[in-house]
Amino acid sequence: MAPTILSPVGLSGPEHTGDKIAGATTPDQLNRIMHSEFDQQHDRTVREEIEVFRRKAEKFLAGEIPEDEFRPFRVKHGIYGQRQPGVQMVRCKVPGGLLTSRQVEQLARIADEFGGGRGHLTTRQNIQYHFVPLVRVAGLMHVLADVGLTNREAGYNTVRNVTACPWSGIARDEVFDVRPYARKVAYAFLRQDLTGNLPRKFKIAFDGCAGQDCTAGAINDIGLRAVVPRWSARIPHGDRRRAGTAAHRGATAGRVRPRGAPAEPVRGRRPGVQSVRRARQQEQGPPEVRPA
């Protein structure tokens, strides 16, 4: 049986591997082939998604679908309305705050071509462009996709951009580099049914520094701080978890989970936290609906 390709967008299975994998003779060859196959699949998925957005935006502009139907669709793609008619704010996610030089250059190009020469950095390590006509938004999304960036689920009641300490990888007192974990979690829950329609937005932060809480973990829904457990040499990396209800109406203070929990099962614990939030939401009633 051909190996399964694991991906953050749920594309998997031997039907995507073809005869190339069968002809691989070394692990390095196999790895390159699988990554190439995944990149192609991922790009196709993203491009198709953008064209779906384009068609729906065109129908909205033509008056074929109402605002109440179009609003949640566009906000889930990180596209927000402005007080000025006919233009949008476009939010791009930067998982863990980590960018390549090519991505930075592309973001600057987008600012020049779509945002009037300006881009706004946010506290959750996103970048936002204002005054973008709706008819041009799909073109902007394609330019983002050219360098592997997306604005999918940068808004709405979804798992928002996963943040990491800005000193990750360079801090002198760093316990370990949390960026790989932040990025893995960010992509693992992208385009998932479970996390794409939550009672309210859901925020996660990773912090690797020993001496300070750089990401204000207590005001996130899940805040994770790196620790190296002294009681077990078998767990190379762990985290100090804090789960709360973030900074919004009805928020509660985060509670610390036991120290030294292994970092790897973070994804497996997320659905449990979400189930608690859903139950709490049923008790409190529907969330406040605000225009975007």
* CATH code for the domain of 78: 3.30.70
Split into its structural domains, the chain has a count of: 2
Tokens of 285: 């009633």
- List per-residue pLDDT tens for the chain, 292 residues long: 333 222 333 333 333 344 444 455 555 655 565 456 667 777 888 899 999 999 999 999 999 999 999 999 999 899 999 999 889 999 999 988 888 999 999 999 999 999 999 999 998 889 999 999 999 999 999 999 999 898 988 888 888 889 888 888 888 888 888 888 888 888 888 888 887 788 888 899 999 888 788 887 888 888 888 887 765 544 455 555 555 445 544 444 445 554 544 555 555 555 555 554 555 555 555 544 445 5
Query: Does residue 150 sit within a domain?
Result: no
Asked if the structure places residue 250 within a domain, the reply is yes
pLDDT for res 175: 87
Q: Provide the pLDDT for residue 217.
A: 80
Is-contact 163 215, C-beta < 8 A? yes
The label of the residue with tokens 């939550």 reads 198
Residues near 169 by beta carbon (within 8 Å), at least 6 away in sequence: 177, 179
Does residue 133 share a domain with residue 47? yes
Q: What pLDDT, on the 0 to 100 scale, is given for residue 282?
A: 56
Domain containing residue 202: 163-284
State the burial class of residue 147 (Cβ atoms within 10 Å of its Cβ: 0-12, 13-18, 19+): middle
Please report the pLDDT score of residue 61 as a whole number: 94
| Residue 76: inside a domain | yes
Residue 190 contacts residue 238 (beta carbons within 8 Å): no
What pTM was estimated for this model as a whole?
A: 0.68
Q: Does some domain include residue 291?
A: no
Q: Which amino acid type is present at position 235?
A: I
Give residue 234's region: left, alpha or beta (phi > 0; psi -120 to 50). Answer: alpha
Chosen domain end from 145, 172, 189: 145
Domain match, 139 and 56 both:
yes
Establish if 14 belongs to a structural domain.
no
